[in-house]
Amino acid sequence: MKNIALGLIAGIAAFLAVQYLVPTLFGNDRISVDDLVAEIKANDPSGFYTTVETHFPEDYARFVALMDETANNPNIPDDLLNQALFGRSQAFMSDLRLANAPYFARASIEQIETTLSSYLAFVQSLSSDPRFCNRILAFGTASLGLEESLKIDQALLSDTANQVFLTFAEGRAQMNDHGTATSADWDSVLAEWQADVAQPNFPSIYMAQDPGNEAYCEATISFYEALRDMDGESRDRVLIEVTSKVIDID
């Protein structure tokens, strides 16, 4: 399980903002940073940027400054501006994710559950194309280029990014210690899933983590659904480990 590239939503929003603003402001020497940020937020259905602005204000200010510098950099040709904003904003948010990764497991179980449920909805949206779904599960959305990334459900991706940063913020504030998943915890969770799963081979498919198996996407969805619906301390510790790996912060 690779990271979902939280920075991808930053890159997409920046790309869409410039797609709108460059034709509108054609002939002007400068794109107003206020206009640019307003359009980025307009392409942010989950409130991801508001979350970053609220809980990580200094980082948000640096992000806005980077977008301003990039959008108005005379050394970046017009035909490369979209890609420059996409790449720089994606890299910035990915670095911010890494900096706050240690706080993820410190949030409440309820918030981590919400993050998994959000990511589950995103994976479910990919299930009609198992090969594409498997690719995302194996290599993350970071494996996608700009055009290909626009094919995925931006609202669901944005919501997952937002939930992850809310989890970071809560973990930093609460610093809970839930412990680390043990092999006994995993045995308990997998046994409970095996007892209820419709397809008996799903647990082995999920644990193999083989994107070449077309059933991998469906098996992963089944496991996330089962994990979401379980309870108990063993489940909680496995939940943290699984969700951490989903966003590549283990």
Predicted pLDDT of residue 87: 83
Report the distance separating Cα 17 and Cα 11, nearest Å: 10
- Judge whether residue 25 has pLDDT over 60: no
Report the distance separating Cα 250 and Cα 245, nearest Å: 5
* Beta-carbon count within 10 A of 211 CB: 17
pLDDT band for position 80 (cuts 50, 70, 90): confident
Predicted pLDDT of residue 152: 82
* Residue-range domain boundaries for the chain: 1-249
Predicted pLDDT of residue 8: 59
- pLDDT, tens digit (0-9, with 9 covering 90-100), for 171-185: 999 999 999 999 999
79 contact partners, CB below 8 Å, separation of at least 6? none
Predicted pLDDT of residue 18: 55
**Helix 216-229, helix 233-246: angle, nearest 10:** 140
- Judge whether residue 69 has pLDDT over 50: yes
Report the distance separating Cα 44 and Cα 25, nearest Å: 21
